Amino acid sequence: MFLTIIVLAGALRFTGYRFSLPYVDHPDEPNWNLSGRMIIDAGSAKPLGFHGYPPGIITINYVLLRFFHDPATPPATIIPWVRLLSITVSLGTVAVVGLLGYHVATPLAGLLAAGLWAIMPQAVEFSRYATADPYTTFFTVLAVFLAFAAMRHDRDRLASWAIAANMLAIVFKYQAVFIVPLVLALPLWRLKTPGCDKRRILASFRDNAIYLALFFFWLLAIYPATEADDVPYWVAPTNSIGFPDWDTLHYNLQLTVNAFWTTPGWVAGCVGLLLLVWIRDRVDLVGLIVVVLSAAAWWVGVSFFGMQAERQFVALGAFLTVILAVGLAGWAGALAAVLAHVDRLPPRVRRRPVSDALVAGIVFAASIPLLADSIENAYQHTLPDRRNDLAAYMDTSLAPGPYISNDDNHKTFNRDWGEYGGENEFRHAGAMNIMERSIAEWRQQGIVYVIMPCSDYEAMQQTAQGREHLTQMLLLKLYPPSKKFRGPDMAVLRLSPIEHEATGTLGPIHLVGYDIDRTAVARGETVTFTLYWQATGTPDAEYSVYNHLIPIDSREIMAQVDGPPLVTARRPTGWWDDPAETLVSRPFTLTISADVPPGEYRLITGFYRPDSGERLRSPFGDDFVTVTTIRVR
């Protein structure tokens, strides 16, 4: 059964571990990845401000980059490997949580603890990221378990391994220092055992204290841990540390309790704890107190830095899950005690396995919604991230230019933090709302594009000011809400509209407008223009565009310019698959030679296959549409 739980936990966590790539979704993953790369290139992560960050997760990235990374590829190509390590370590947490529950109470408590942690949606979610949280949680719970085992079985080596695990937890997150006193002192409980070897126990304590002293000397005097306040968005600044008030403690505890299981489940667990203590049914009260103290140490310790996010309390969630599982197992003990006194029942019904199975079945049934959420979570991580589509679309379809957006797309085109690999540059000018200023002001600042949620785009259509803004912009592409994708829904707009409307159809492609710098030109000068199309269907082949200047009454070519239709050849017509998209051509330039007679001419455009010369035709059989007329002086 225990192995089945581990397999289930692995299936939920490993499924979709490559989510969002190549776009790096979690903001911390590229931080640690680039820090590792910077240590290789410059010897320190100080230019990024992460030189004082706990070195554990950065070291993992460094090792993988140093020995397993192809320098020809972006650094983030090793992020899947870090995620795999994170998930594997998180499975270790499932196992240790189960062992802790088993040793504190009963096999049922161990199975319930492991099972609940295996399917807990928040535990599943936090396990997938290439961040420090899975490692910190594992080593923290392992340290407490080893210290408890050292106390119960009188093993000095286990006490030393507990200190080593605690050190590793601190290496990944400094907040793990709050359980050091408990892990160090817990093996001293052996001194209460009659006939114990006090000299050996104290010597072990002394050695472990020395190990800790050397570790903290390295951490504080050699490694620049004291400069952690330089870390951007550091969650544990020393200048804000202070004893937490009740509001902070209550907020952090409620945040954690709500994140891990349900309110009825916690009520049942607490009642079960009271029953278990009352009937003293196979529970190690000292062990239970150890787990409670560990949870309290993490809860209060992290609260010294104020109200925190859920991910700072994953370790607390693991300890609370053990306590919850022990409490739920207490119901089995109470039920067994009742059944044992009912003489009318067959002996086999009065045995403990029956009550254990009944309680386990009830807990499983109550946990089905959690399991369903975790399965849905795993499925969601298998879906493609829309920001990859957005990056590919803009890189192959639009001219480079700065853009504004909300935080959803602040690093979509960042080569370092978002792992954008395109050829064109789209600089993020800020996380701002287009309605904050006039379109003219945005243009003066050089902003070319805005990427906004579809809901914001729809809201703009409902107000006069919003509609005024929209008349001065061009909707290029919509990514509407869809259950088939991860990532945000988006509307992509250009901060300049089409200058002139046009009509004409060639195959599935419709000309909808054009921009032109002049319609009267002297011989020897040029005319630059841009065409706008929409494709109601995907063309059946790859087509290029021809643009001819011809007399009003003939097809004699007086000037011409051909080429791929869009800004690059990397998005051919075979990829025109969105009928709502406005396709913007490359800027075409016609040179009017000196031998072109003065007069009125037509500018026509059409599509042809470079391999065969075959052209798309209009419903009337023409192979071109007229864009405008041009007068040559």
- Predicted confidence at residue 599, as pLDDT, reads 94
Q: How confident is the model at residue 344 (pLDDT cuts 50, 70, 90)?
A: low
What are the pLDDT digits (tens) for 482-495? 999 999 999 999 99
Amino acid at 427: R
- Predicted confidence at residue 350, as pLDDT, reads 44
Decide if pLDDT at 47 tops 70.
yes
- Residue scoring higher pLDDT (501 or 283): 501
Q: How confident is the model at residue 285 (pLDDT cuts 50, 70, 90)?
A: confident
Q: What are phi and psi of 416, to 5 degrees?
A: -90, -50
What SS3 state is found at 243? coil
- Give burial (CB, 10 Å; 0-12/13-18/19+) of 45: buried
Q: What is the mean pLDDT of residues 425-450?
A: 96
Reference 435, options 411, 462, 396; nearest CA is: 462
- Predicted confidence at residue 479, as pLDDT, reads 97
What are the pLDDT digits (tens) for 9-36? 999 999 999 999 999 988 899 999 999 9
- Predicted confidence at residue 283, as pLDDT, reads 78
Q: For residues 337 and 275, what is the distance between their CA atoms, to the nearest angstrom?
A: 11
pTM summary value: 0.87
Q: For residues 435 and 39, what is the distance between their CA atoms, to the nearest angstrom?
A: 42
Question: Could you tell me if 60 and 103 are in contact, meaning their C-beta atoms sit under 8 angstroms apart?
Answer: no
Decide if pLDDT at 264 tops 80.
no
Query: Which range, of 211-225, 298-312, 422-436, averages the lowest pLDDT?
Result: 298-312
- Helix (H) or strand (E) run with residue 500 in it: strand 500-501
Q: For residues 538 and 575, what is the distance between their CA atoms, to the nearest angstrom?
A: 7
Say which residues have a Cβ less than 8 Å from residue 160's Cβ, sequence separation at least 6: 204, 207, 208, 211
Q: How confident is the model at residue 259 (pLDDT cuts 50, 70, 90)?
A: confident
What phi-psi label fits residue 627: left (phi over 0), alpha (psi between -120 and 50 degrees) or beta? alpha
- Helix (H) or strand (E) run with residue 338 in it: helix 314-340
Reference 207, options 166, 151, 145, 160; nearest CA is: 160
- Predicted confidence at residue 349, as pLDDT, reads 46
Q: For residues 585 and 576, what is the distance between their CA atoms, to the nearest angstrom?
A: 13
Decide if pLDDT at 270 tops 90.
no
DSSP 8-state secondary structure symbol assigned to residue 462: T
Q: Give the dihedral of Cα atoms 273, 275, 276, 279; nearest 10 deg.
A: 160
Residue 486, strand partner residues: 385
Tokens of 526: 């040029």
What are the pLDDT digits (tens) for 116-147? 999 999 999 999 999 999 999 999 999 999 99
Decide if pLDDT at 501 tops 70.
yes
What phi-psi label fits residue 414: left (phi over 0), alpha (psi between -120 and 50 degrees) or beta? beta
What's the residue count for the chain? 633
Q: For residues 224 and 287, what is the distance between their CA atoms, to the nearest angstrom?
A: 36
- Predicted confidence at residue 342, as pLDDT, reads 57
- Predicted confidence at residue 281, as pLDDT, reads 65
> Do you find a cis peptide bond into 22, omega within 30 degrees of 0?
yes
Cα separation values, 311 from 10, 23, 314, 552, 602, Å: 20, 22, 6, 70, 65
Fold of 500-632: Immunoglobulin-like (2.60.40)
Q: What percent of the chain has pLDDT over 70?
A: 96
Q: For residues 535 and 518, what is the distance between their CA atoms, to the nearest angstrom?
A: 27
Q: What percent of the chain has pLDDT over 90?
A: 77
- Helix (H) or strand (E) run with residue 253 in it: helix 246-259
Q: What are phi and psi of 617, to 5 degrees?
A: -125, 155
Q: What is the mean pLDDT of residues 475-482?
A: 97
Reference 521, options 592, 588, 587, 589; nearest CA is: 592
Q: For residues 611 and 542, what is the distance between their CA atoms, to the nearest angstrom?
A: 9
Tokens of 488: 């945000």
Say which residues have a Cβ less than 8 Å from residue 263's Cβ, sequence separation at least 6: none
Q: What are phi and psi of 624, to 5 degrees?
A: -155, 165
Q: What is the mean pLDDT of the chain?
A: 92
Q: For residues 299 and 135, what is the distance between their CA atoms, to the nearest angstrom?
A: 18
Reference 300, options 542, 375, 586, 308; nearest CA is: 308
What are the pLDDT digits (tens) for 375-417? 999 999 999 999 999 999 999 999 999 999 999 999 999 998 8
Show me where the domains of the chain are located: 20-228+243-380, 386-494, 500-632
Tokens of 221: 């005097």
Tokens of 578: 């969105």
Q: Which residue has the tokens 């059409």?
A: 606
What SS3 state is found at 526? strand
Say which residues have a Cβ less than 8 Å from residue 413's Cβ, sequence separation at least 6: 391, 394, 403, 420, 422, 425, 426, 427, 428
- Predicted confidence at residue 359, as pLDDT, reads 85
Q: How confident is the model at residue 280 (pLDDT cuts 50, 70, 90)?
A: low
What SS3 state is found at 626? strand
Tokens of 483: 């259950």
- Predicted confidence at residue 60, as pLDDT, reads 96
Q: Give the dihedral of Cα atoms 568, 572, 573, 577; nearest 10 deg.
A: -100
- Predicted confidence at residue 338, as pLDDT, reads 67
Decide if pLDDT at 196 tops 80.
yes
Tokens of 279: 């009937």
Question: Could you tell me if 618 and 625 are in contact, meaning their C-beta atoms sit under 8 angstroms apart?
Answer: yes
Decide if pLDDT at 600 tops 80.
yes
- Helix (H) or strand (E) run with residue 148 in it: helix 133-153
- Residue scoring higher pLDDT (270 or 537): 537
| Helix, strand, coil percentages in the chain from 3-state DSSP, rounded to 5 | 55, 15, 35
- Predicted confidence at residue 340, as pLDDT, reads 60
DSSP symbols for 549-566: EEETT----SEEEEE-SS
- Predicted confidence at residue 345, as pLDDT, reads 47
Tokens of 617: 């035709």
